[in-house]
Structure 1
Amino acid sequence: MKRRSFLKSAAALLPVAGFDPAAFASLPGSDSSTHSQFIGAGQDRLGETHSRGYSSILFKVLPRETSNGLFVIEHMNLVNGGPPLHKHLHQEEYFYLISGEVRFAVGDRRLTLHPGDSILGPRGIPHTFAAVEGKPSRMLISFSPAGKMEEFLRDTAIPNPPVQDAAFFRRFEMELLGPSPFAG
């Protein structure tokens, strides 16, 4: 039996054995980075659920599928609220609004995005966002390179997340700069 066929057969048995197949996606010989992956509307890449309290998050492209070059998420049902003002030390963050309205602060700029609008949060530039009250929004966000953003979201998009102070942000190569100018 060829190695690739064996790996596919073994992977099919992982759920039966109680293992998460995603844990083995980056093994040598895995097809995850050489074939395109279809993820349906409203679906997470691994079938998981994540929430930051102000939105549900779907993982669309995982860092391990792009040699850590890209991480893409979708914010669903983004309501009033958003992350604190922060900056990334090593990655750009690109935002594309699908529906609703979202207020952004990027550096000294303040603007409201509408469906089809996008904005780049360059590395080292303070930024944050918040949905316009009463208008649930949907937005794609990509991080390049992916850095530690998947780990950050896994650690914070859970019930009762840890305190997200300056030291916590530093663990994920970000700098916490203060509350969002849209808070309150």
Structure 2
Amino acid sequence: MSFGQEWRSDAIHVPAGEGIQRWVAGDTYSVKLTSEMTGGALSFIEASVPPGAGPVAHVHKAGAEGFYLLDGELEFLNGDKTFTARSGDLVYVPAGIRHRFRNKHVHTAKMLFFFTPAGLERSFLNTGDEAVPGTPPPAWDADRFVEAGEILKTLNINIDFFPEENQ
């Protein structure tokens, strides 16, 4: 029986444990979907954030970001205010909002997050270090952040960094 519709089979399946693994600023990121894979629609990343880790406060000038906490707790910055997101919580950050997350607890937090439209995943792929199994990710010093910032400029990724005064 036909209902006059054509079906496609272009689904993307990324098995557990696969993706492009990168260490960025003490965190481990597994890029599951890239801009090239989704035609620019979105990118999707799994993150492991150890105690004390997380990015510096920043603003995406174009594009939104969403976070879904799988395990643990993360403190999020929303403009100048903070709140705690816990397992099962979703955080959506539209373009233009100063934000960051930080693990202020004793256990590693796990989350999934996405960018829409896609493209910002290139910041992880191009600035991050290749992850080495069985080794913890190194924290970045000030020079490494400067180096990453220079790489981002070459990628034409519109991110501004706004460190907090107590960082």
Range class of TM-score, shorter chain:
0.7 to 0.9
Instruction: Give the structure-2-normalised TM-score.
Output: 0.76
Higher relative contact order (Cα pairs below 8 Å, separated by 6+ residues): 2
Specify the alignment match of 2:16 in structure 1.
Answer: 41
Residue matched to 2:124: 153
Task: Determine the structure 2 residue equivalent to 1:132.
Answer: 104
Task: Kindly state the Cα deviation for residue 111 of structure 1 after the two structures are TM-superposed.
Answer: 0.7
SS of match in other structure, 1:163:
helix
1:66-106 per-position Cα deviation (integer Å, ceiling 9, x unaligned): 22110110002543221111100111010100001111001
Alignment of 1:3-82 (within 5 A): 35-44=10-19, 48-82=20-54
User: Does the aligned pair in 2 maintain the 1:85–1:180 contact within 8 Å?
Assistant: no
- Say whether 1:104 aligns with 2:76: yes
Task: Return closer, same or farther for 1:61/1:180 CA change in 2, 3 Å cut-off.
Answer: farther
Q: CA RMSD in A?
A: 2.5
- Give per-residue Cα distances to partners, 1:48-69, cap 9 Å, x unaligned: 3211142211111111122211
1:164, distance to aligned residue in structure 2 (A): 4.9
What's 1:173 paired with? 158
Q: Distance in 2 between matches of 1:178 and 1:165?
A: 15
- Where does residue 163 of structure 1 map in the other structure? 146
Would the aligned equivalents of 1:166 and 1:175 in 2 still touch at CA under 8 Å? no
Q: 1:162 to 1:105 in 2, by over 3 A?
A: closer
Q: Distance in 2 between matches of 1:162 and 1:59?
A: 20
Aligned length: 146
Identity of matched residues, %: 25
Aligned counterparts of 1:55 and 1:106: Cα–Cα separation in 2: 20
* TM-score, reference length from structure 1: 0.69
Q: Relative to structure 1, is the Cα distance of residues 165 and 73 closer, same or farther in structure 2, using a 3 angstrom cutoff?
A: closer
Q: Distance in 2 between matches of 1:125 and 1:152?
A: 18
Q: Is the 8 A contact 2:126 2:151 kept in 1?
A: no
Structure 2 spans left out of the alignment, 5+ residues:
1-7, 131-139
More strand by share: 2
Unaligned runs of 5+ in 1: 1-32
* Counterpart secondary structure, 1:113: strand
Taking the aligned partners of 1:132 and 1:145, their CA distance within structure 2 comes to 30
